[in-house]
Amino acid sequence: MVTGMDNKWTQLWLKYEAKKANGNDKYFKSISCQGFDYNNKILKNAVDELIKGAKGMLGVTAECGFTGCQTAEESGSTVKDSLLKATLILEKDETVAAEGYRLLEKDGCLYIKASDEKGLLYGAFALLRAVACEKTVRGMDKTVIPDNPLRMYNHWDNMDNSIERGYSGDSFFFENNEVVVNERTRDYARFVASIGINGVVINNVNVKNCATWLITDRYFEKVAEMAEIFAEYGIKFFLSLNYAATIELGGIDSADPLDERVIGWWKQKMAEVFDRIPNLGGFLVKADSEGRPGPFTYGRTQADGANMLADIVKPYGGIIIWRCFVYNCTQDWRDYKTDRARAGYDNFIKMDGDYHDNVILQIKNGPMDFQIREPISPLLGGLKKTNQMLEVQIAQEYTGHQIDVCYLIPMFKEILDFKTYCKEGADTVADVISGRTLGNKNTGIAAVCNTGNDNNWTGNDLAAANFYGFGRLAFTTALSAEEILDEWIRMTLSTDEDVVGTVKEIMLPSREVYENYTSPLGIGWMVTPHTHYGCSVDGYEYSRWGTYHRADHLGIGVDRSDKGTGYAQQYFEPNASIYNNIESCPENLLLFFHHVPYTYMLKTGKTLIQHIYDSHFEGVMQVEEMIAKWKSLKGKIADEVYELVEKRFDLQLYNAKEWRDQVNSYFWRKSGIADEKKRAIY
């Protein structure tokens, strides 16, 4: 376990190891700055990073002559001198949009131009990325403006230092019910700032026990210290809030959002909190969900709850991010009418337009819960007058626990590209969450993060591609999953073309591979209850969670058409009709929307049952191929990484075989239909 200053963790993609210069070294000889306040901490951090990167990657000791910079005293030169001889110029340029940057090479000088310090920091990291990827900066003229206003990581860390759905060790934010601030905090901030993250929630949305007290004197000092470090990297600090704090902290017998006592308590509390934690961006709230308290208890709406808090934090510039993961988690499995998939939309759509300006509804990508494949939540774009944020999960809760390799950026691309048909010309999910659809500013994207205090941060070294990739994609939605992966490999593993190519071959299709050996055609689940790793076909079939596959001896799937639960009708046309009709429904979502006979003929010319058998055999074969590819890299990447990943691959193969054999045997036994290819099924 990492404690105090025990600096053992890796530097991920900011290793700053020696690189081929390709002419880049000459630009890093001396750095100057024009138009920015030299004492600004973000600027200072940008410069420190440039100096460190130039030294490590290019062997150049950058001279830097302006105040606020680490080497100012050493160099002893004046600002004026430094401007004359500078090769790298950080320049204020009001024409560059907020948080954006322009990298420009001109007359032998390189400029990082930005209108604010955050943009400058992102520009510095972009330049270092180019150097790390051994791309020449000569002739460069590139302007990049972030697509999404809010780009956040949500951590589900608990104060006892466990992490809900964490697969990379324990929390580095908390230990023994205390807030931990050390060098690792700073490194975390550097990493996430380097990929453009500008907001972080440090504690679990299930706010219990000591975490409720994070908004009290008990923790203010440490929390403010952490928030200050984040601020120095352009990151707004957020906390998850216990909706029932009035009861648990305030001694009031209610959390009714319309009760004057409740409102009064929160007013006083927020004045205190924003005073003590100046860099606080606001709060994330999980209410009326999975046992968490909320306004429903008092017969109030979600809007009543969110607006009450939002109005109170507004004077401090705060926002309330309100999660839409509200559903009946005590369902009777015999009940075919209640459909968990419907719940988000049903609970939130009727109050569209009622949410105040500084409320953002945070919506999981699918209507269920981060399955390997599910449709896009119809709330995204369905809400026409409400600020929306997309929530995805890079913690691999249902996608292999960072044991199995599952590069998720292709899935996130699919989600962002989905056409909701909410507004002509600006109707993709990317449009909605960037603010292009509604012209609003309080929008964005958040991921449930996959980090912990393991030395390599993400348990499996390859899972760091998701940690890296989410930020890159959140900043620039148009980047392809391959471009992002390419960068990450070159910055983290090696710039050797063979390594780059082979790792891409392993990772790019890994989501489909995982899908092949787990639950078929969008039906989801079939996982071991509670842990959510490994196969258990009926694990949740007779439970209260609303997550059923409804397999019988004739077929499988949930009828969510107009003849079933009607979920398909929550979409705009033509999506509603496309999903409603078994013939037009995308086949990879077939079992999500329809109850389908095993003998149903798919467009591939295979029956459904044969598809299930084939995809499961194929999935295991693909894992075997991935492993062979990985083994070909021995000696070409760091031994430590090679070996750790190799061990995880052994576990993945075991897992894949269990899934294959359990799923195939289950459906063979249910259907009585043999595999055409007569392979081993039990």
Catalytic residues: 290, 369, 397
Residue number with CB closer to ligand GCV (428 or 518): 518
Binding range to ligand GCV, per CB under 6 A, among 198-206, 262-270, 375-383, 483-491: 198-206
CA distance 164 to 203: 10
Size of the site for ligand GCV (CB under 6 A): 10
Residue from 22, 143, 206, 665 binding ligand GCV (CB under 6 A) = 206
CA distance 101 to 86: 19
Cα end-to-end distance, the chain, whole Å: 43
- For residue 282, the one-letter residue type is G
Residue number with CB closer to ligand GCV (289 or 420): 289
Residue number with CB closer to ligand GCV (286 or 616): 286
Residue number with CB closer to ligand GCV (206 or 440): 206
The pairing of strands 359-364 and 63-64 is unpaired
At closest approach, how far in Å is the CB of 305 from ligand GCV? 16
At closest approach, how far in Å is the CB of 165 from ligand GCV? 5
Reference 417, options 427, 407, 425; nearest CA is 427
Note whether 369 binds ligand GCV by CB under 6 A. Answer: yes
Binding range to ligand GCV, per CB under 6 A, among 8-16, 200-208, 247-255, 336-344: 200-208
Residue number with CB closer to ligand GCV (170 or 559): 170
Residue from 27, 36, 156, 567 binding ligand GCV (CB under 6 A) = 156
Write the interaction track for ligand GCV spanning residues 503-532; mark x where CB under 6 A is met and - where it is not: ------------------------------
Task: With residue 506 as reference, give the H or E element that holds it.
Answer: helix 497-507
CB atoms within 10 A of CB 1: 11
Write the interaction track for ligand GCV spanning residues 34-63; mark x where CB under 6 A is met and - where it is not: ------------------------------
At closest approach, how far in Å is the CB of 160 from ligand GCV? 15
Binding range to ligand GCV, per CB under 6 A, among 118-126, 199-207, 264-272, 577-585: 199-207
Residue number with CB closer to ligand GCV (156 or 470): 156
Residue number with CB closer to ligand GCV (64 or 535): 535
The pairing of strands 101-106 and 319-323 is unpaired
Q: Is 335 exposed, middle or buried (0-12, 13-18, 19+ CB in 10 A)?
A: exposed
CA distance 453 to 286: 25
| Bridge partner residues of 142 (DSSP) | 103
Q: Which segments within 396-528 are labelled E, that is strand?
A: 444-448
Write the interaction track for ligand GCV spanning residues 579-598; mark x where CB under 6 A is met and - where it is not: --------------------
In sequence order, the 6+-apart residues with CB closer than 8 A to the CB of 168 are 402, 450, 451, 452, 453, 454, 456, 457, 458, 459, 463
Burial 66-81 (b: 16+ CB within 10 A, else e): bebbebbeebebeeeb
Binding range to ligand GCV, per CB under 6 A, among 203-211, 334-342, 599-607, 630-638: 203-211
Note whether 549 binds ligand GCV by CB under 6 A. Answer: no
Q: Which residue has tokens 């679990």?
A: 204
Structure-block tokens of residue 432: 């909605």
Task: With residue 392 as reference, give the H or E element that holds it.
Answer: strand 388-393
Residue number with CB closer to ligand GCV (116 or 369): 369
Residue number with CB closer to ligand GCV (93 or 391): 391
Q: Which residue has tokens 């659809």?
A: 437
**DSSP one-letter code for 443:** -
Structure-block tokens of residue 607: 């029956």
Q: Under a CB-based contact definition with an 8 Å cutoff, are residues 448 and 392 in contact?
A: yes
Reference 326, options 353, 352, 362; nearest CA is 362
Residue from 165, 413, 560, 660 binding ligand GCV (CB under 6 A) = 165
Q: Which residue has tokens 């697509």?
A: 147
At closest approach, how far in Å is the CB of 379 from ligand GCV? 15
User: Residue 309, SS3?
Assistant: helix
Structure-block tokens of residue 31: 């750095």
Write the interaction track for ligand GCV spanning residues 458-487; mark x where CB under 6 A is met and - where it is not: ------------------------------
Q: Under a CB-based contact definition with an 8 Å cutoff, are residues 587 and 602 in contact?
A: yes
CA distance 152 to 390: 10
Binding range to ligand GCV, per CB under 6 A, among 83-91, 204-212, 414-422, 571-579: 204-212
Residue from 164, 496, 541, 624 binding ligand GCV (CB under 6 A) = 164
At closest approach, how far in Å is the CB of 240 from ligand GCV? 9
Q: Cα Rg for the chain, rounded, in angstroms?
A: 26
Q: Under a CB-based contact definition with an 8 Å cutoff, are residues 415 and 379 in contact?
A: no
Q: Is 264 exposed, middle or buried (0-12, 13-18, 19+ CB in 10 A)?
A: middle
Write the interaction track for ligand GCV spanning residues 105-144; mark x where CB under 6 A is met and - where it is not: ----------------------------------------
CB atoms within 10 A of CB 245: 22
At closest approach, how far in Å is the CB of 620 from ligand GCV? 26
At closest approach, how far in Å is the CB of 420 from ligand GCV? 22
CA distance 411 to 256: 39
DSSP letter string, 114-127: ESSHHHHHHHHHHH
At closest approach, how far in Å is the CB of 323 from ligand GCV? 7
- For residue 352, the one-letter residue type is D
Reference 383, options 346, 416, 342, 415; nearest CA is 346
At closest approach, how far in Å is the CB of 170 from ligand GCV? 16
Q: Under a CB-based contact definition with an 8 Å cutoff, are residues 44 and 186 in contact?
A: no
Three-state SS for 539-577 is CCCCCCCCCCCCCCCCEECCCCCCCCCCHHHHCCCCHHH
Q: Which segments within 248-376 are labelled E, that is strand?
A: 280-285, 319-323, 359-364
At closest approach, how far in Å is the CB of 70 from ligand GCV? 40
At closest approach, how far in Å is the CB of 474 from ligand GCV? 19
Residue from 205, 241, 376, 493 binding ligand GCV (CB under 6 A) = 205
| φ/ψ (deg, to 5) at 240 | -80, 145
Note whether 230 binds ligand GCV by CB under 6 A. Answer: no
Binding range to ligand GCV, per CB under 6 A, among 186-194, 202-210, 265-273, 344-352: 202-210
Write the interaction track for ligand GCV spanning residues 318-357; mark x where CB under 6 A is met and - where it is not: -------x--------------------------------
Residue number with CB closer to ligand GCV (65 or 375): 375
Residue number with CB closer to ligand GCV (292 or 616): 292
Residue number with CB closer to ligand GCV (204 or 347): 204
Residue number with CB closer to ligand GCV (86 or 360): 360
Write the interaction track for ligand GCV spanning residues 281-300; mark x where CB under 6 A is met and - where it is not: -----x---x----------
- The contact set with ligand GCV (CB under 6 A) reads 156, 164-165, 204-206, 286, 290, 325, 369
